Structure 1
Amino acid sequence: MDGNSSNRVKNKSAAPVQITAEQILRVALENQQTLKSGPKQRIDDLEELEDYRIRKRQSFEISIQGNKRVLAVYYKYADWEEGQKDFTRARSVYERCIDIDYRTPTTWIRYAEMEMRNKNINLARNIWDRAIGLLPRVSQIWFKYSFLEDMLGNYPAARAIFERWMKWHPEEQAWNAYVKFETRLKLFDNVRMVFERYIIVHPRIKVWIKYAKWEEKVGGDISQARTVYERAVKFFSEHSQIVQDQDDEVQLFITFAKFEERYKEIERARIIYKYALDNIPKHKAKDLFSTFSNFEKQHGDRVGIEDVIISKKRFQYEEDLKKNPKNYDTWFDYSKLEESNGDLSKIRDIYERSIAQVPPTNEKKHWKRYIYLWLNYAIFEELVAKDFDRSRLIYQACLKLIPHKQFSFSKIWIMAATFEIRQLQLDKARLIFGNAIGNHPKSKIFDKYIHLELELGNFDRARKLYEKCLELMPDSCVAWNEFAQLEARLGEKERSRTIYEIGVSQPTLDTPESLWKNYIDFEVQNKAYDNTRKLYRRLLERTNHVKVWISFTQFELKSNKTSDACRSIYMEAHKALQQSDKEERLLLLESWKQFEDTHGTKEQQELVSKRIPKRIVKRKIIKLPDGSDGPTEEYYEYIFPEEQASNPGLKLMEMALKWKRDGVNK
C-alpha cells in the first residue's frame, strides 16, 4: 500500500444528513465580511459649505482643462451646480458648452430641461427658441418645445411652434404629431388643413391612406373619406413617377376597396378591384389578386377561384418544362407559385427537380442562371422552412457540383459563409472562406472575409488576409488603399506609409491614380508636407498630367501660405507642358490666371494674360454618304502666342481679320 492510502474515502454511501447548495450559499453569505466604507463628510456651518463648493468647482475646472471638448464633463459640472441651487453658474456652464459646439442637441435639451425642472418657464422658452433657430433640422428639439407649451395649456403658442416647424418641411413624424395635437383639441378643420399641406410635402400613398382613415374614424364623414381615396387614385394615376413602390399602390386599392366593403358598398369595392387589376402590372398584383379572390369568396359566386388559377398555372409550367426542361426562368416562376401555395413537400420537389437540370457544358454563361436555383433553395430552407441542416447540405452540394478548375462563383462562397455566420459557426465560415481563396481567389471574397475579421476585432488576421490578397493580386489598388487605411486607422502610420510605398512601386496597377492620391492625402493629413512634395515630384517623373501640376500648386498654396512657391510651380508646369496637348496647356493657364487674379500683382496678372491663347473659329464642310458636300460645321482652335510668333502666316491672317472687322465697322 502507498503512503496516501489513509486519505482515501472508505465509505462512499450517502450521509444521513444531506447539505443542500442553498445552505452552503447561506453560510458563505453569513461569514462574508462587509467592506468598510470611507468616512462620510459632515458640513456643519456655512464656511465649511463654501469651502466644499470651492474645492468641488476647482476639481471640475481641472477636469475641464484636461478635457476641453468633452461635453460630458461640463454636463456633470452643470448638474452639480443645479444641485447646489446656483442656477447662474449652471447657466454659465451650459453657455460654455454652446460656445464649444452649438451643434450638439443634447446640450440644448439638458439646458432647457434644467430651467423647466426649476420652473423657469420663460428662460426655457428662450433656450428652446435659440435652439430651433440654430438647429432647425433636429426634430427632438421641436418636439420638446411644442410639448412644453402643450403641457402648460398654451395651445396657440404650441400651434405657432408647429407652424414654424412645418415651414422646414420636416419628416412625416412631425406632421403626425401636428395632426394628433389638433385632433386632441377637436379642431377638425385645422386637422384637414394640416393634412392638405402634409400630402403636398410628402406625396406618398401611406400619407393619403392615413388622411382617409382619419376622416373615417375621427372626422366621422364617410363621404369625405371616400373623396380622399378618389383624389389619391386620381393623383397617382396622373403622377405615376412619384410612386416609388408598386406594393404601396396595391395597398391603396386594397384599403379603398375594404373601406367600401365595410360600408356594404359591394359593387363599388368590386369595381375598385377590377380597376386595380387592369392598371397594375401582373407580377406586382399578387396581394391584390389574393385579396380580390377572398372578397369574391365572401360576396361572389367564384368559390374555388384561387385553386383553379393555381392549378391552371401549374399545368402551364409543366407543359413549358416538357418542351424545355433547362428553361431556368420557368423553374423560378414555378417555385414561386408553389411557395405562395405553402405546401413544403411540393416546394422541395420543385427545387429538387430544378437543380437536377445541370447545364450541359462547363461554360460559365450557362451556369449563371442555374446557380440561383441553388441559392433560392438554400434561402427557402433557412428562412421559410427553418431547416438549417438542410440548408447547409444544399450549400455543400452546390459547391461540390461547380467545376472550380474551369470557373467558380464568388456569390455562392459568400452566401455559404454568411449562412454559417448567422448560425454563429465562425470556424466553419472561416473554413469556407479559406477554401474559396484556395479555389477562387477573387477580391469580393477577400473583402467579405476581411470585413468579418475586422468586425470581430481580429486585426492580425485581417493583416494576413490583406497580405495574401496582395500576393495574389498585386495590381489591385483597392486592396493597397484599404490595407494602408486600416493601418492608419489603427495608428500605425509607419506601417501605412510602407504599404503605400510598396504599392506605388508595383510595375502594373489597375488604377494607379487612386493609390497616389490616397498616399498624398495620407501625408497631408499627417502634416508631412516635405514627404508630400517628394511624392508630387516622384509622381511628375512618371506622368506629366496637367491635373497633377494643378493639384501640386493647390497643395503648396494651402501648406505654404505663400504665393511665390505656388507661382514657381506654375512656371515649371508651363515649361514642362510646352509639348503637351493644347487643352491641357489651356487648362493650366486658366488655373494660373485664376491664381494670379487672387494673389498676384497687376504686372503678374498681365504676364499670365499674355500667355493665354487666342480662340479662332474655323469651319469645315461635312461630307455626306453620297460624297457630296453637306453643311458646314464650326469648331474652335487655340493659337498660343509662341506659335503665332513663329508662324508669319498666322500673323497675316490676324491682320486680315482685323482689316475686315474695321471695314465692317466703318
Structure 2
Amino acid sequence: MPGTLLPPRSKRHHAQMERVSAAKPDLYLISSEDIIYEQDLGEDPGSIKPWISYIEYKQQNGTLYEQAFIMERACKQLPRSYKLWKLYLELRISHLRGRNPALHRDEYQKVNGLFERALVLLNKMPRIWEMYLSFLLEQPLVTQTRQTFDRALRALPITQHNRIWKLYKSFARSASGDTAIQIWARYMQVHPETAEDYIELLVELGRYTQAVRKYMEILNDSTFRSKEGKSHFQIWSEMVELLVNKAKKIDTQSYGGIDVEAIIRSGIERFSDQRGRLWAGLATYWITKGNFEKARDVFEEGVTTVMTVRDFTMIFDSYVEFEESIIGTLMDQASIRSKKGKVDEDADFDLDLRMMRFEQLMDRRPFLVNDVLLRQNPNNVIEWEKRVGLWGKNKAEIVNTYAAAIAAINPKKAHGKFHELWVNYAKFYEQGGDLDTARVIFDKAVKVPFKTVAELAETWCEWAEMELRNENFDKAVDIMAKATQAPKKSTVDYFDESLSPQQRVHKSWKLWSFYVDLVESVGTTDETRKIYDRIFELRIATPQTVVNFANLLEENKYFEESFKIYERGLDLFSYPVAFELWNLYLTKAVDRKISIERLRDLFEQALDGCPPKFAKVLYLMYGNLEEERGLARHAMRIYERATRAVSDEDRLEMFNFYITKSASNFGLTSTRPIYERAIAALPDSEAKDMCLKFAEMERRLGEIDRARAIYGHASQFCDPRTNAGFWQKWEAFEVQHGNEDTFKEMLRIKRSVQAQYNTDVNFIASQAIARSQQQRAQENGEADMGDEEADKEQADAMAALERQARAPVGFVAASTGPEGGNRPSGAQQPAPPANVNPDAIDLDDDEDMNE
C-alpha cells in the first residue's frame, strides 16, 4: 500500500497524503483518466497484459504512490507473476538507492518484507534471490544476510548456485573472520579447484596454520590442477615461503602440529636443483624462530652436502650474512657497555669466539668449494690437484689428500691425467729426499689399470727420469728395460681396448723412443743397435726411427748398414712417407759415390710405383746423376720419361727443363720433337705459351714458314678478346716477316677464331656474367658518369678497337683514308702525296725480309 513507502521529502505533500489515505485512499489514487484501465482489469482480472499496460501508463504519467498502488494490487491479484514482482521490487529498491540503511532502517525492512512475500511463491527464481541478496549486502545485517544466502542455496538447484556464490564470496570477504572461513570452507566442498583463493583468504586473515594445511592438502592431491597455471614446485615454494616468513605464527607444538623442518628437508631431497635456496630457507626459519645455533648447524650441513657451486654460493652468502649480523649486534652491545663503563667478560669472550669462527669460515671457503666440485665428480683429477695446492706446505694434509684421491678415483673414469697425480705424489717424496718411498709409489703406479696406454708409458718414463735426476743411470736403464719387456714375437694389438695397458705398453713408441735415447746417451753402440732392432721386430718403428737409426750407423762409419736400414724402412712405409725416405737414401747414396749401376737400380726402384706428385724431384735427381756420371742421352731419356710421369701441375715445368737441357746438349733443332709433344700433351692454356716459345725458336732459326704454321696452330686456343697479347705478337711477326697475303690470312684466321668463340656456350655465359657485373657496379654508384656519357664512351671505345683490329701497325685502313691506321694521338703526320695510293702497303725489299 502507499503507506508502506518512504514519505516524500515535501512535508505538505506528506500531510496531504496522510489525510487522503485516512479517508478513502483508493478513490484518491484512481483518477478519471484511469477508468479505462480499471475497466480492462474488470473485464479480464486474471490476465497480466492489462496490468502491464496500466503500470506503463502510470510510469509515464503517475506519481510514485500511484505506481506502487497499482503494482501492489497487481502482485496481490497475480502473486505468481515474476514480471510483476520484478517491476515492483525494482521500483522499491530504486526509491531507496543512495539512502543510508542505518538511518532508514525501517524502510529497508519494509522492502525486505516485500522480498520475503515474493519469495513465498517465487523461491525458484534465481534473479529474485540475487536482487534480494544484493539488497541485503547494502545493509548491516550479517546474520540475516548469511541465513538468506543459505536459504537461497537450499531453494535453488545446484546448477544455479554459481550465481549465488558469486555474491556469497563477496559477502564472506566483507564479513571476514570465522564467518568468511566457514563460508569458503563450504564453497570449497563444491569447487575444490579454487583452493588457491581460499589460501589467499586464510593468509589475509592471519590463519597461517590453516593455510599451510590447505597447501599440504592440495600438494598431496595428484588430481589438483592450478587454475593460475602454477606448477607443483611453485605451489610448494609458496608454502615454504609462508612457513619461513611466518615461522613464529605457525603452530608446530600442539598435537598434529606442522613439522616445518621435515617439510623443507623433504623438498631438499625432492627438488635437487633448488637445494641451495631450500637450505637457506630452512636456516632462515630457525633464525626467525630465534634458534641461532640450530640455524648455524643447518648452514654447515648445507655447505657440506650441496652438489653445485651455485647452491653453495647461495648458502655460503646467507651464512656469512647471518654471522656478520650477529657479530654486528654483539659489537653494538659492546659499544653501549663501553660507553656506560660496564664490563661483561662473558659477552666479550662470546664476541671474540664468534669473530674467530667467522675468520675460520672465510678461510674454509676455497676448501668448501673444492669439496663441492669433488662431490660432483670424485674422479676429477684436476680438482684433486687443486686441493693439494690449497694445503700449501702442510705436508701431513698433502699426503692425506693424495691418499684420498688415489682411493677415490676410478682410473677408467678419471677426468684429467690420472698418471700425473701419481707422478706428483712421488715427486713430493723425491723433493723431500725420500727416494725409497717415491720408488714404492712409482712401483704401485705402473700397476694401475690406466685409461690409456699412453698414461702408463708416461709413468714409466717419469720413473726413469727421476732416477736420471738423481744420477742413477743404471737404475734408469733397468726400469726402461723392465717397462719394454715383451715376448719374442708379440702379436698384441696396441689399439686393442679389451687388453689392459700393461699388456700393450711394450708396443708404445714413446716408451721405446725414451729407452733408445737413454741407452744411446749412457750405453754403447751395440746396445743401442739391439734396441733399434727390437723396435723393428715389434713393427712399431716410425720414419723418424728409421732416420735416427741410419744416422747412428752413419756416424759410426757403418755406411752399408745404414743403407740397409733405409731399405728396411722402405719395406715398412709406402708413399708419401716413402718419398722422404727415398729422398734421404738416394741423396746419401749419391754422395757416397757408389757404382752407377747400383745407383740406377735404386732410382728405378724408387720410381717404380711412385705417385705423380712425388715423381718430379726423383726424376731430376736421376737425370742430374746421369749428366754428372753417366751419358747425356740417358739423361734426356730420363727427362722424357719424367714429362709423362709427373703430375699435371709439374708437366709444363718439366717440359721447359727438358727443352733447356736438350738445347744445351744437342742444339736447338733437337728440341722440335719435344715442343711438338709438349703442345700435344699440355692443356690449351699452357700449350699456347709453348707454341709462342716454339715459334720464337723457329724464327730465330730463320724458319719463317714453320713459325707461321705454329702461330696458326696456336690461334685455335686464343680468343682475340681475351688473349690480345698472342695476336699482337703474331701481328708484329707478320709486319716484320710477312707480306700482304700472309697478313690478310692472319686477319681471316683471327675473324674465324672470334666467330668460333662467339658461338661457344661457355664464352657467351662468361660474357653475360661480365655484363651483369658491370651493370651492377654502375647501379651501386661505382660508375661516376651518366648513362648517356657511358654509352657514348663505350661506343667510342668499341669503334677505336674495331679500327685497331682492322688497321694494325704498318698498314692503313681503306675505310678511314689518310686518317686511318694506328698512330699516336696528337702526332703530326705528313699528308700523303696526291699521286700515291692511300691503300698501298709499304713492303720491305726481299733482302730486308731475309734479314
Place the TM-score, normalised by the shorter chain, in its bin. 0.3 to 0.5
TM-score by length of structure 2 reads 0.34
TM-score by length of structure 1 reads 0.43
- When Rg is computed on C-alpha atoms for both structures, the one with the higher figure is 2
